[in-house]
């Protein structure tokens, strides 16, 4: 019960006690008054009847006596009137029907005992005793009069009490409204929402409470903001290049490894290495500030270009080296895209050149492309060889690493095979378990695979890029959802499933509507989780928030995948409030060897827990990694340490 209702109930209880006590006292007083009145009526009636009936009693005129008695008796005040002669013989007697109903509740009659008064009068006529008159008042009349007064008082009390309760309720709610605001502030604070009450109440005590709460909200907000700034500062120090703001060498290599060797989500990919030629000579001739400005300008131009290339990884891996990983394109396409960057670098250097000597080129660019899964180290080595070749070529400073690798990824036959398999839903699902601190399965993440032309399973990197280029990712996601729902229905004992929705699919409004309808009609919403990549969330934040609310209404768990690497940080968590997040594998890989990674991951886990969000780690492959995560109070881990992906089964 709320404080307002408790106060109202207490006040009404006190009033009720006072009224009942007052009613009892008034009833007792009224009873005495009624008895006195009845006694007076009885005495007056006996006297008046005696004076009037004296001659008729001497004559024993029973008819006249009866007429006079009946006239008085009909008033209802009397239980009995009896007239007797001098020898005590009854001349006439009239009594009230004892079986007649009294218009008062039985409990009231038992509660208030009434003894009706009786009066007798000796009658004399012409100095001779002619008889007596006995009058006894009726108790029922007293009960009826007394109950009528009590009932009217009760009706008035109830009416006034109801009106008073409404007024009191309004008054208390108005006075205690600041306390409701404080409660709202406290609940919002638990969700890391910072709300202050702008209007202070007039009551001194309540004003102090509201002021103290507003102060606490500001202090907690400052504390959390300071924590976030510290984490962001650590991120920038550990993973960002201080000059360009891009990923530094460590973060770039880690993300290249993550995408090329683990996720394999690029499909055929190109790695561009951009080298600022003879950086030392530039520093000596133009000065370090100008050289840094040139590097930074090239980095910002490259970053702007990368935004139009879809999924990418960009970073600075050396003083003079920038790299960009993106979806594979032909040499002609890359030359068209990179020529403005080359010209910008020439113009910037020409502006600072104190001599009129024309500048042919400033940058050398090497490109290495791969259509099949490869390692980050191999692709970087190939790009470096191509860059060195471009640096020696004074004609055009862009070179492509030549390779004779099998071009399965781009063959028309392979594209037709992938399109046919996806369109006909010839997919099979694999699962990898996410386990808690006690090795109990939380859920199993689902991966889609197809068979190649030799009828052997192929990895995501072998067909994912083709599916993306052919706009077939939505069909893959639809097939995954349908197969997962069917699996859960057929295997009630199976672990819950986590389904990862592709970035491209999320841009299709029809898919979102279909997904919600399918889940709502599945009967398995409590055993399904939907995961979305952090980059996709930040790209489509408003639509993802709407999807998250719709999934919450269906009791479908929602998670953020690949968390912690996006340069925009994690402030979106406060509004999105996912059920869990999976820390990106690039932050986990060196966790047992890097103090910076351990501190940063520990901070991410703390932020998640402070928002009531479960924190999981993916790509856990070694026991030291697991032990370090358990010490950080991680909620769950996933990776080869717990087993490789296996066929989806009950």
Write the pLDDT tens digit of every residue in 419-450: 898 888 888 899 999 999 999 999 999 999 88
The CATH superfamily of 249-406 is Reverse transcriptase/Diguanylate cyclase domain (3.30.70.270)
Average pLDDT on 77-104 reads 84
Query: What confidence category does residue 405 fall into, taking pLDDT thresholds of 50, 70 and 90?
Result: very low
Alpha carbons 415 and 57: distance in angstroms, whole number: 134
**Residue among 117, 51, 121 at smallest CA distance from 84:** 121
Torsion of CA 532, 538, 539, 540, to 10 degrees: 70
Q: What pLDDT is recorded for position 408?
A: 42
Q: Are 211 and 218 in contact (CB under 8 A)?
A: no
Alpha carbons 466 and 473: distance in angstroms, whole number: 9
Q: Give the tokens for residue 408.
A: 């399965």
Largest CA distance in the chain: 164
Average pLDDT on 104-125 reads 84
Q: Give the tokens for residue 587.
A: 């932050």
The more confident residue out of 526 and 203 is: 526
Q: Which of 61-75, 168-182, 262-276, 314-328 has the highest mean pLDDT?
A: 314-328
Asked whether residue 409 carries a pLDDT value surpassing 70, the answer given is no
- Measured on CA atoms in the order 174, 175, 178, 182, is the torsion positive or negative? negative
Percent of the chain with pLDDT over 70: 94
Write down the pTM of the prediction. 0.66
The more confident residue out of 341 and 180 is: 341
Asked: is 411-647 a CATH 3.20.20.450 domain? The reply is yes
Enumerate the domain spans of the chain.
Answer: 3-173, 178-239, 249-406, 411-647
CATH class of 3-173: alpha beta
Asked whether residue 4 carries a pLDDT value surpassing 90, the answer given is no
Helix residue spans in 60-193 (DSSP H): 62-73, 106-111, 139-175, 177-190
């Amino acid at each position: 019960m709320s404080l307002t209702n408790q106060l109202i109930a207490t006040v009404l209880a006190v009033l009720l006690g006072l009224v009942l006590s007052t009613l009892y006292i008034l009833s007792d007083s009224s009873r005495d008054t009624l008895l006195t009145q009845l006694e007076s009526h009885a005495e007056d009636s006996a006297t008046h009847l005696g004076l009037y009936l004296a001659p008729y009693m001497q004559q024993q005129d029973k008819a006249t006596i009866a007429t006079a008695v009946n006239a008085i008796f009909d008033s209802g005040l009397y239980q009995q009137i009896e007239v007797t002669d001098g020898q005590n013989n009854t001349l006439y007697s009239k009594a009230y029907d004892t079986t007649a109903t009294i218009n008062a509740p039985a409990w009231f009659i038992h509660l208030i005992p009434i003894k009706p008064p009786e009066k007798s009068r000796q009658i004399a006529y012409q100095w001779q005793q002619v008889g007596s008159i006995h009058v006894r008042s009726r108790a029922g009349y007293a009960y009826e009069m007394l109950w009528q007064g009590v009932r009217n008082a009760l009706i008035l009390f109830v009416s006034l009490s109801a009106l008073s309760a409404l007024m009191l309720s309004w008054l208390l709610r108005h006075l205690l409204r600041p306390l409701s605001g404080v409660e709202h502030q406290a609940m919002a604070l638990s969700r890391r929402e910072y709300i202050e009450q702008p209007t202070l109440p007039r009551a001194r005590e309540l004003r102090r409470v509201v002021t103290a709460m507003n102060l606490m909200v500001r202090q907690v907000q400052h504390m959390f903001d300071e924590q976030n700034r510290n984490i962001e500062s650590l991120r920038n120090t550990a993973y960002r290049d201080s000059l360009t703001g891009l990923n530094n060498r460590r973060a770039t290599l880690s993300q290249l490894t993550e995408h090329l060797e683990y996720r394999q989500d690029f499909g055929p990919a190109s790695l561009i290495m951009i080298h600022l030629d003879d950086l030392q000579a530039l520093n000596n001739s133009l000065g370090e500030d100008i050289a840094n400005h040139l590097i930074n300008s090239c980095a910002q131009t490259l970053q702007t270009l990368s935004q139009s290339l879809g999924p990418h990884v960009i970073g600075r891996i050396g003083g003079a080296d920038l790299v960009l990983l993106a979806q594979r394109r032909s040499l002609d396409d890359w030359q068209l895209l990179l020529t403005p960057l080359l010209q910008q670098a020439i113009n910037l250097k020409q502006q600072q050149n104190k001599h009129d000597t024309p500048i042919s080129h400033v940058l050398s660019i090497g490109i290495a492309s791969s259509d099949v899964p490869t390692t980050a180290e191999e692709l970087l080595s190939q790009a470096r060889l191509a860059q060195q070749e471009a640096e020696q070529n004074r004609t055009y400073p862009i070179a492509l690493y030549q390779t004779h690798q099998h071009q399965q990824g781009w063959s028309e036959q392979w594209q037709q095979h992938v399109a046919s398999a996806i369109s006909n839903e010839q997919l099979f699902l694999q699962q990898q378990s996410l386990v808690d601190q006690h090795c109990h399965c939380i859920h199993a993440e689902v991966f889609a695979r197809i068979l190649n032309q030799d009828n052997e399973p192929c990895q995501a990197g072998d067909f994912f890029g083709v599916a993306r280029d052919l706009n077939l990712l939505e069909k893959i996601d639809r097939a995954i959802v349908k197969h997962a729902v069917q699996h859960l229905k057929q295997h009630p004992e199976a672990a819950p499933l986590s389904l990862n929705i592709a970035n491209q699919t999320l841009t299709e409004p029809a898919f979102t509507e279909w997904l919600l309808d399918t889940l709502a009609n599945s009967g398995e919403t409590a055993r399904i989780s939907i995961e979305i990549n952090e980059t996709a969330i930040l790209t489509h934040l408003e639509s993802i928030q709407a999807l998250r609310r719709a999934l919450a209404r269906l009791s479908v768990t929602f998670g953020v995948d690949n968390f912690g690497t996006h340069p925009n940080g994690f402030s979106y968590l406060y509004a999105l409030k996912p059920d869990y997040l999976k820390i990106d594998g690039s932050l986990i890989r060196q966790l047992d060897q890097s103090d910076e990674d351990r501190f940063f991951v520990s901070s991410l886990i703390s932020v998640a827990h402070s928002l009531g969000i479960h924190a999981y780690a993916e790509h856990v492959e070694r026991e030291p990694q697991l032990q370090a995560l358990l010490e950080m109070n991680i909620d769950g881990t996933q990776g080869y340490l717990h087993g490789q992906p296996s066929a989806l089964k009950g």
